């Protein structure tokens, strides 16, 4: 890491400050400058505003994207990148980049991730990290072999309401846990006229809704109630054919060309068993008409329950079942002291955004790099999610329970 040597000391929630107050530069490259690449870039620009005690200062050095010149022009003009590339290999080859965000389409994650690790870069990679569990393990192992740190894009851990739910579960306020329900329903692929982009192709995307949304659900469930030990799953492809389109076709683009087969699943439903006896259900769809980001969970114990809906991100529904029968929920608006809200808003009832969750993710990775210890979800968590996704695929194909651990 460049810059003068500094001594770090822990601050609240693992953040760090330097004894002399000087911040070292953390030089960043971004591979893929679509919506998620732009969001990572904004997070690097904002992280010091919300976490001024971080000991490292991100600096946007280079971006690579082959989709359009307009994207690269925007990267320079709106985000301040110093250099742009149409070939990500040129970015990775630079010796003045410390950290790489990998936000390109799924089929590039494996190659870019391994190359970045072997070049000595820290890695922030979006899910699914690989198109398979094997690819994901190879990326993780490359990062570990290089002695670098990683972050995986499981941002639904980070809302303050989710953090509060976790603390209530861990403190025993719900009593003995009984079951969890996780839903991730979306309509982004519900239009049958939408073009068959890379997301619907096995070779480019790997799985369908399993990698895209279910991986989030697996991570959220195990984060809240523990490791999944067994599962049984069903899946379906409700729109089996689409018109072939551009590799990165916008979801609103329509076509009239020849039809091609959709090669991965639109819908998944699974029954889960967790260590300690908790039961669970997980349902997810990318073609659910009427559902936009309907992501959330309910956790029930023998003395209470909590429920959360991403669309009302700052609210946690809490039931303390002291009377057991006819117990009701009350709405808790998160407040400073609940998770990371205090780093973004001054009081309860003031909304956070999806973008803020990525700022938290950036802060956790920067803290890990500064302190030398993992903070937040890493590629280890991505491997566990990928293994659960593959177990669901096997279960659906073979119509049986699968043991995970």
pLDDT digits (tens, 9 = 90+) for 19-57: 444 579 999 999 999 999 999 999 999 999 999 999 999
What pLDDT sits at residue 68?
80
Helix, strand and coil percent figures for the chain, each rounded to 5: 35, 25, 40
Q: Say how far apart CA 11 and CA 63 lie, in whole Å.
A: 31
Which residue reads 């919506």 in tokens? 35
Instruction: Identify whether residues 179 and 131 lie together within a single domain.
Output: no
Phi, psi of 331 (to 5 degrees): -95, 125
Alpha-carbon gap, residue 190 to 167, rounded angstroms: 36
Same domain, yes or no: 138 and 194: no
Are residues 254 and 126 located together in one domain of the fold? no
In a domain, 143, yes or no: yes
CA distance 405 to 397: 20
In a domain, 370, yes or no: no
Find the CATH number of the domain harbouring 396. Answer: 3.30.360.10
Domain-located, residue 361: no
Determine the average pLDDT of the residues in 3-30.
Answer: 54
Asked if residue 298 belongs to a domain, the reply is yes
Indicate the DSSP class of residue 264.
S
Q: Which of 139, 155, 171 is the last residue of a domain?
A: 155
Over residues 168-182, the mean pLDDT reads: 97
Write down how long the chain is: 405
* Average pLDDT for the chain: 92
pTM of the full predicted structure? 0.92
The pairing of beta strand 228-236 with beta strand 267-274:
antiparallel
Rounded to an integer, what distance in angstroms lies between the CA atom of residue 204 and that of residue 251? 16
pLDDT at 204: 93
Asked whether residue 11 carries a pLDDT value surpassing 90, the answer given is no
The whole-number pLDDT of residue 253 equals: 74
pLDDT band at 138 (very low <50, low <70, confident <90, very high): very high
> What pLDDT does 251 receive?
67
142 and 182 both lie in a single domain: no
pLDDT at 248: 55
Q: Indicate which CATH number applies to the domain containing 42.
A: 3.40.50.720
**pLDDT given for residue 69 in this prediction:** 87
Encode pLDDT of 310-362 as tens digits.
999 999 999 998 788 989 999 999 999 999 999 999 999 999 999 999 999 99
Q: Which two tokens stand for residue 151?
A: 């972050």
Please report the pLDDT score of residue 335 as a whole number.
97
Domain boundary among 107, 133, 155: 155
Residue 198 lies in a domain: yes
The CA-based dihedral angle spanning residues 15, 20, 22, 24, taken in that order and rounded to the nearest 10 degrees: -60
Q: What percent of the chain has pLDDT over 90?
A: 87
In which residue are the tokens 């409700």 written?
238
Q: How far apart are CA 267 and CA 361, in angstroms?
A: 28
Q: Do 70 and 148 lie in a common domain?
A: yes
Q: In total, how many domains does the chain have?
A: 2
pLDDT of 9 above 70: no
260 vs 249, more confident: 260
Query: Environment class of residue 161 by beta-carbon count within 10 Å: exposed (0-12), middle (13-18) or buried (19+)?
Result: buried
Q: Which two tokens stand for residue 255?
A: 């076509």
Token pair of 221, please? 């469930």
Instruction: Examine the domain organization and report whether 190 and 59 are in the same domain.
Output: no
Using CA atoms, how far apart are residues 268 and 212, in angstroms rounded to an integer?
11
Q: Does residue 263 lie within any of the structural domains?
A: yes
Predicted local confidence at residue 247, as pLDDT: 54
Give the pLDDT mean for 227-245.
95
124 and 180 both lie in a single domain:
no
- How many percent of the chain have pLDDT more than 70? 93
Whether residues 268 and 380 fall in one domain: yes
Residue 3 covered by a domain: no
**Facing residues of 300 across strands?**
179, 305
Residue 358 counted as domain residue: no
Residues 67 and 346: their CA atoms lie apart, in Å, by 40
Give the pLDDT confidence score for residue 324 in this predicted structure.
Answer: 86
Q: What is the pLDDT of residue 258?
A: 86
| CA-closest candidate to residue 235, choices 259, 261, 207 | 207
**pLDDT the model gives residue 81:** 98
- In what helix (H) or strand (E) does residue 6 lie, and over which residues does it extend? none
Residues 123 and 183 in one domain: no
pLDDT in tens, 76-118: 999 999 999 999 999 999 999 999 999 999 999 999 999 999 9
Mean pLDDT of 6-19: 36
Whether 128 and 211 map to the same domain: the answer is no
Among 85, 120, 155, give the residue marking a domain's end: 155
Bridging pattern class, strands 122-125 and 150-152: parallel
C-beta atoms surrounding 223 within 10 Å:
18
Residues 287 and 391 in one domain: yes
Residues spanned by the domain of 63: 8-155
- Two tokens, residue 394: 């096997």
- Given a cut of 80, whether residue 8 has pLDDT beyond it is no
Asked if 170 and 283 sit in the same domain, the reply is yes
Which pLDDT does position 233 carry in this prediction? 98
């Amino acid at each position: 890491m460049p810059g003068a040597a500094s001594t770090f000391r822990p601050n609240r929630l693992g953040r760090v400050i330097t004894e002399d107050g000087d911040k070292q530069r953390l030089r960043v490259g971004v591979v893929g400058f679509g919506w998620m690449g732009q969001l990572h870039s904004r997070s690097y620009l904002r992280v010091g505003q919300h976490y001024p005690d971080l000991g490292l200062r991100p600096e946007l050095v280079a971006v690579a994207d082959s989709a359009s010149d307009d994207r690269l022009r925007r990267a320079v003009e709106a985000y301040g990148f110093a250099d742009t590339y149409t070939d990500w290999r040129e970015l990775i080859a630079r010796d003045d980049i410390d950290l790489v965000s990998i936000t390109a389409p799924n089929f590039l994650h494996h190659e870019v991730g391994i190359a970045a690790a072997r070049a000595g870069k820290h890695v922030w990679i979006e899910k699914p990290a690989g198109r398979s569990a094997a690819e994901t393990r190879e990326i993780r192992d490359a990062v570990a072999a290089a002695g670098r740190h990683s972050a995986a894009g499981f941002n639904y851990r980070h809302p303050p309401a989710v953090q509060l739910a976790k603390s209530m579960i861990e403190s025993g306020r719900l009593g003995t846990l009984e079951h969890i329900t996780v839903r991730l329903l979306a309509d982004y692929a519900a239009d049958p006229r939408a073009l068959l982009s890379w997301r619907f192709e096995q070779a480019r995307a790997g799985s369908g809704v399993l990698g895209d949304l279910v991986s989030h659900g697996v991570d959220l469930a195990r984060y809240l109630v523990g490791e999944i030990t067994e599962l049984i799953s069903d899946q379906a492809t409700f729109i089996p054919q689409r018109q072939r389109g551009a590799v990165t076709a916008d979801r609103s683009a329509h076509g009239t060309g020849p039809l091609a087969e959709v090669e991965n699943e639109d819908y998944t439903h699974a029954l889960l068993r967790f260590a300690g006896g908790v039961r669970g259900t997980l349902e997810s769809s990318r073609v659910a008409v009427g559902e936009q980001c309907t992501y959330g969970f309910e956790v029930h114990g023998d003395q209470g329950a909590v429920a959360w809906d991403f669309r009302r991100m700052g609210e946690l529904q809490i039931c303390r079942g002291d009377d057991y029968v006819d117990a009701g929920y009350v709405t808790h608006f998160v407040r400073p002291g609940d998770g990371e809200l205090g780093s973004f808003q001054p009081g309860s009832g003031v909304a956070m955004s999806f973008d803020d969750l990525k700022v938290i993710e950036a802060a956790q990775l920067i803290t890990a790099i500064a302190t030398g210890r993992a903070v937040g979800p890493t590629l280890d968590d991505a491997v566990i999610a990928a293994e659960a996704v593959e177990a669901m695929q096997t279960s659906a194909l073979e119509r049986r329970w699968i043991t995970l651990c």
